[in-house]
Chain A
């Protein structure tokens, strides 16, 4: 019986060998490339769109605007008055990134250039960018049916007996919790290949989707053709997590372009579009009060919830609803009261995201349950166990629970974490926290959501094909359906194929969302397979003249006689084209749909439960929270494929931990600031431990083979589990995710009553900057942003296709220098070139590869004992070389924290030293002072400057020098050898940088080498760095290097020539000169802290939200100090 086994994914060989074809891998002859013009303003009226120039450009085959669609048409989404989004902006744009027009051309370069040539005249107007702004004195973004401006929907109601709950309570806890907007960040960017067939008036789509039926529904409606004439085809899909579970905007655009151009069109979103224009998770602000009686029984939840809808409805109404339902689903208080508002803002519309409102509200409820436990002096696990609802009861929100093994999940977490003995393992900064949750197995959220059809084909050679209309974006759905068919038909897994997604060939299925896949298609395929099995058994019974037939090993067997399935197919009168087919419908009964005006509903056939437990280690010096152990116990009923269930548990938990610890879409003026993996702190391989999944064994009769859901359940508990663990570890209750170091250190400082005084009034050199910073929020920023930017240089290329580039390979430095003076750009590993070029108004077209120049790739010992490191030595080579020499360990240490091995294998020493500042405004296309000129603002003054901006010495620009290598070399007295024409000169590294990522180099200068003086090579040094994720740029770094006294006595006792260099704290790497003179081997950690703090306070001039970096810097110095002392002893 294959059901219940951890079989390999059916297409494992193709997937692991790179043969699986995703949309962008398809080679459709003659296809065009589509590019989308997006709004640069959060809110504006479109006065005119002139596409004439674009249409005339070379290679352009079609241009579309709103005029190419019926007037006033909108996506259906949830229908009626909730339908509010046109396929292309129609007279008004409501968020930065909204689609205005699209171009199909022969090449992507031509399509993008043509987009830039479309002239749109806007009348920009102000609009609310946050729910708070939306509520008061703001423009109404839409006409809504609710009575309040910018409130798309309000749900103000209650379940159970609220008054009884309040009066039974003796204690309560209150708090405001925020779960931010996070991005799916699927590895496969959204991609659609649309092929319009003019003769048949239909369109074929190969699109990265979880729900072909919904794609067909919207595309057909917007194109004005019948549903059946939008034909999706099967294609590999690279992740969804909800983002692809309804139609996406580019799908309609691709289809419309194809129809207009009469050619197939491929649209692939860029990673920037993925982050900044897709529909992310809805941000929730949950103000919750939880009440309990003296015995620990929860009596009432009372919540005010504000959901940031973004600019259009999409699924916001149901996400809000499901979020609220969290309060009525898990425990059984007397009542729950809630007032929830879905608030429009001129930002990215929210979409569907794994968990769908539940993670957000669960953060609040599961955190607050711990607060209640503390007030009562009860164990948090015991409190939860005390409040569990029994199986086969109905919850406040109307869920008719079937099986529930949540108690077993909680005890599994308790045992798995070693909860009872945790005090024995407590060390400073360590803590443990748990959270529980529930999620349905497919909500009745749409008409026909309770129906799923499936088909089975048995071929004349005995192999079997399962056909279902949904799409597997990586969940393993295709494999478990094959397992089900294999089990029912007695066929080997190797003889089973699965066809999904194809609108012509597969039967009705609404797709993968709401964790419905296992239940709905498990049931429909199981039914189809059983019915086919009955057919086959009947045929065999007739042939064999026996009744008791079983199917096994590809044959029908009765006693000693058997007949192969292949032969049965030939015998069957129903066979056609060499195969016997059977299609069936599964109709789920007993569930209730989401109905406006009805507050309760039994949405799902069964409900999955889980409890998670986290062990965290909080670095109390830097604020960094590290999860050091994580247990996730799930009640999934029966696991059809345990390996895949474990994969969903681990993957969802890690995604939830990402939101708990670092992920957040950050916006400035409505524009996403961090639309890149390098700026978006999702977990990388070394950031988290292995999640320990536990499948609590069970069986739910309601589900296929006893199965319930798992896909969304696992992302729900991590937020509160980590928040609870951090509280246990450090005594600080953080209610706003992500729990980043700034929040931790700020809370610790407040808790311990520590403040810093910078005496700005005594430091005249700071007064000008202080004044400018004060003027920014008083109108200076607005003036520079709205008016000044019109005078500045454009960001990014204009409406021309980039010219082909030339690559020179000089053999001497002198030659390279001359080429550089003539305007060519020097290349090391070129790791930053492509990204930076995209932002240049006139990207460079001449490049110089220095790797061929003799001597530049070597590390050589010089006659005076100094070490010469060639400029083109890669970071990997340098790290390896120094490790081999057994010297300068801190340099190798620093290199290992840079980026990734792939980058380190290419990036050169000189390239790393010279890399441009990493301020995320500068890097992600904001027209800032450094990017565009002096009339432009610095966006970091009022924007998010918590992580990578200067807390010391920030001036017109707040950025820092990002090079870790450049920073650590300051502690080794490095010199930079610069070639110019035929001469070379040497500059101390402390004189090399003039500003953030800016150097003394002029056109024609070529960095030839770094030279480390002989004496410095023997320094004992360590490098400490705080970053959000592995390989990320430093938030702050500290390098401490000393020359141990070589005289008599204890060599470690006295330190000479201390170098203490702080990175990423000031525009250039910063030596704390005074502290260097006062640090000694015997100072001790506390004194070190006071020494460093004293100097920092004298020179710091932090921005409003990055003062915490000073605490982190001091903390890193303390850790570095301890490590140096240990090295020397």
Chain B
């Protein structure tokens, strides 16, 4: 089966109904996305499919479009990840790949400018990413701070993409 992941086309010996997460982790060695529930309920497996955050643990590989995992977003998310580190937005780190992937999509899509609305929008979207360690607030602050920084920078410098089609 043919699968496009992080911009590369792979031929993978798998069944089209195999969950995408298993194909990414076991056949392609991309272990950033995690198996935490296997039921699409917690978000630890979040990847981008056609630029949209999706639960890879319940997506049949044969129904996946263009897949981007955290391994393909390291550059683009580097400012966000620095904010994560500065604010303690991760502790055990297991939910973190899913959080970073989802937040990266949110940041591309444009969050509200008003700080209160922005915070609420981030919290609402991250309902799809359970964290048991941090209580969420540091994650939300990291995403909001990155959005703020990028909106200030965008009037000064190039957009923070890394070859991703937004």
Q: Which of A240, A644, A900, A905 contacts B88 (CB 8 A)?
A: A644
Q: Are B37 and A676 in contact (CB under 8 A)?
A: yes
Contact A188 B52 (CB under 8 A): no
Q: How far is the CA of A906 from the CA of B46 in the complex (A)?
A: 12
* A106: min CB distance to chain B, Å: 13
Q: A85 to B61, alpha carbons, bound, how many Å? A: 42
- Considering the chains assembled together, what is the distance between the CA atoms of A654 and B133 in angstroms? 9
* A691 contacts B by Cβ under 8 Å: yes
Report which of B40, B53, B94, B130 forms a contact with A831, defined as CB distance below 8 A.
B40
Whether A650 lies near B91 (C-beta < 8 A) is no
Task: Convert A1-44 into 0s and 1s, putting 1 for each residue whose CB lies closer than 8 angstroms to a CB of B.
Answer: 00000101100110111111110110100000000000000000
B140 nearest CB across to chain A (Å): 7
* Segment with Cβ contacts to A, from B3-11, B119-127, B150-158: B119-127
Q: Does B85 contact A8, Cβ atoms closer than 8 Å?
A: yes
Q: List 22 A-B contacts (CB under 8 A).
A: A9-B90, A12-B81, A16-B100, A24-B34, A187-B132, A188-B36, A188-B94, A189-B35, A189-B36, A474-B91, A474-B94, A643-B86, A647-B135, A650-B138, A654-B134, A676-B39, A684-B126, A685-B124, A900-B128, A905-B49, A906-B54, A1031-B127
Interface residue? A468 (CB, 8 A)? no
State whether A902 touches B135 (Cβ < 8 A). no
Q: How far is the CA of A239 from the CA of B94 in the complex (A)?
A: 8
Complex interface: chain B residues within 8 A of A851 (CB) = 63
In the complex, whether A473 has a CB less than 8 A from a CB of chain B is yes
Q: Which residues of A contact B17 (CB under 8 A)?
A: 804-807, 847
Interface pair B132/A655, CB less than 8 Å apart: yes
Task: Let me know if A571 is at the binding interface, CB within 8 A.
Answer: no
Other than A13-B85, A474-B90, give 7 A-B pairs with Cβ distance below 8 A.
Answer: A187-B92, A239-B132, A686-B127, A691-B137, A804-B15, A835-B39, A1031-B128
A879 to chain B, nearest CB (A): 12
Q: How far is B38's CA from A651's CA once the two chains are assembled, in angstroms?
A: 24
Determine if A896 is an interface residue (Cβ-Cβ < 8 Å). Answer: yes
**B interface footprint on A43-78 (CB within 8 Å = 1, 0 otherwise):** 000000000000000000000000000000000000
Contact A271/B92 with A691-B135, A1031-B128 known, Cβ cut-off 8 Å: no
A651 touches B134 (CB 8 A): yes
Assess whether B111 is interfacial by the CB under 8 Å rule: no
Tell me how far the C-beta of B13 lies from the nearest C-beta in chain A, rounded to whole angstroms.
11
Closest to A809 in B: B62
Contact in complex: A474, B92 (CB < 8 Å): yes
A905 near B54 with CB under 8 A, answer yes
User: Do residues A849 and B63 form an inter-chain contact, with CB atoms below 8 A?
Assistant: yes
**Is B60 in contact with chain A by the CB < 8 A criterion?**
yes
**Does the CB pair B81–A17 fall under 8 Å?**
yes
Of B44, B63, B96, B133, the residue contacting A830 (CB under 8 A) is B63
Q: Are A22 and B34 in contact (CB under 8 A)?
A: yes
Whether a CB of chain B sits under 8 angstroms from the CB of A682 is: yes
CB-based closest 7 A-B pairs: A18-B32, A900-B128, A474-B92, A238-B94, A654-B135, A12-B85, A474-B91
Chain B residues with CB below 8 A from A677, complex form: 37, 39, 41-42, 130
Measured CB to CB, the closest approach of chain A to B17, in angstroms, equals 4
* In the assembled complex, A270 has its CB within 8 A of some CB on chain B: yes
Partner of A834, one of B15, B19, B52, B91: B19
Q: Counting CB contacts under 8 A, is B70 at the interface?
A: yes
B84 CB, nearest partner CB in chain A, Å: 5
Residues on B facing A (Cβ under 8 Å): 15-17, 19, 25, 29, 31-44, 46, 49, 52-55, 57-60, 62-63, 69-71, 74, 77, 81, 84-88, 90-97, 100, 102, 120, 122-141
The reply on A475 being an interface residue by CB < 8 A is yes
**A969 interfacial contact with B, CB 8 Å:** no
CB distance from A587 to the nearest CB of B (A): 30
A271 touches B94 (CB 8 A): no
Is A271 a contact of B133 with CB atoms below 8 Å?
no
Nearest to B88 among chain A residues (CB) is A647
- Using Cβ atoms and an 8 Å threshold, which residues of chain B touch A236? 92-93
Chain A residues near B141 (CB-CB < 8 A): 690
Taken together as a complex, chains A and B put the C-alpha atoms of A12 and B88 apart, in Å, by 9
A847 to B62, CA, bound (A): 11
A27 to B27, CA, bound (A): 11
Say yes or no: A17 contacts B128, CB within 8 Å. Answer: no
Q: Is A876 on the interface with B (CB-CB < 8 A)?
A: yes
In the complex, what distance in Å separates the CA atom of A270 from the CA atom of B35? 9
Tell me the smallest distance from the CB of B124 to a CB of chain A, in Å.
5
Known: A237-B92, A901-B53. A17 touches B38 (CB 8 A): no
Q: Known contacts A18-B33, A188-B94; is A271 also within 8 Å of B38 by CB?
A: yes
Among B17, B25, B55, B62, find the residue whose CB has the most chain A CB atoms closer than 10 A. Answer: B17
Known contacts A22-B34, A804-B15, A830-B58, A690 near B127 by CB under 8 Å: no
CA distance A127 to B15 in the complex (A): 45
Q: Are B133 and A239 touching (Cβ within 8 A)?
A: yes
Chain A neighbourhood of B126, CB < 8 A:
684-686
Query: In whole angstroms, what is the CA distance A6 to B96 when docked?
Result: 20
Give the complex CA separation of A899 and B40 in angstroms: 10
A186: contacting residue among B29, B132, B138, CB under 8 A? B132
Question: Whole-angstrom distance from the CB of B46 to the nearest CB of chain A?
Answer: 6
Of A644, A682, A901, A905, chain B has the most CB atoms within 10 Å of the CB of: A901
Task: Give Cα A1047–Cα B90 distance, bound, in whole angstroms.
Answer: 59
- In this complex, what residue of B is CB-closest to A189? B36
Instruction: Determine whether the beta carbon of A807 is less than 8 Å from that of B62.
Output: yes
CA distance in complex: A268, B31 (Å): 15
Whether A903 sits at the interface, judged by CB under 8 Å, is yes
Please measure, in the bound complex, the distance between the C-alpha atom of A6 and the C-alpha atom of B88, giving whole angstroms: 9
Smallest beta-carbon distance B115→chain A, Å: 13
In the complex, A233 Cα to B13 Cα: how many Å? 32
Instruction: Compute how far the CA of A6 lies from the CA of B138 in the bound complex, rounded to whole angstroms.
Output: 14
Q: Write out the residue numbers on chain A whose beta carbons fall within 8 Å of the beta carbon of B100.
A: 16, 18
Nearest CB of chain B from residue A986's CB, rounded to whole Å: 28
Assuming the contacts A474-B93, A685-B123, A834-B19, asked whether A906 and B128 have C-beta atoms less than 8 A apart, the reply is no
- Nearest to B42 among chain A residues (CB) is A677
Docked pose: A655 CA to B91 CA in angstroms: 14
Q: Would you call A727 an interface residue if the criterion is a C-beta within 8 Å of the partner chain's C-beta atoms?
A: no
Q: Which of A230-280 contact B (CB under 8 A)?
A: 236-241, 268, 270-271
Q: Are A902 and B102 in contact (CB under 8 A)?
A: yes
- A923 → chain B, closest Cβ, in Å? 10
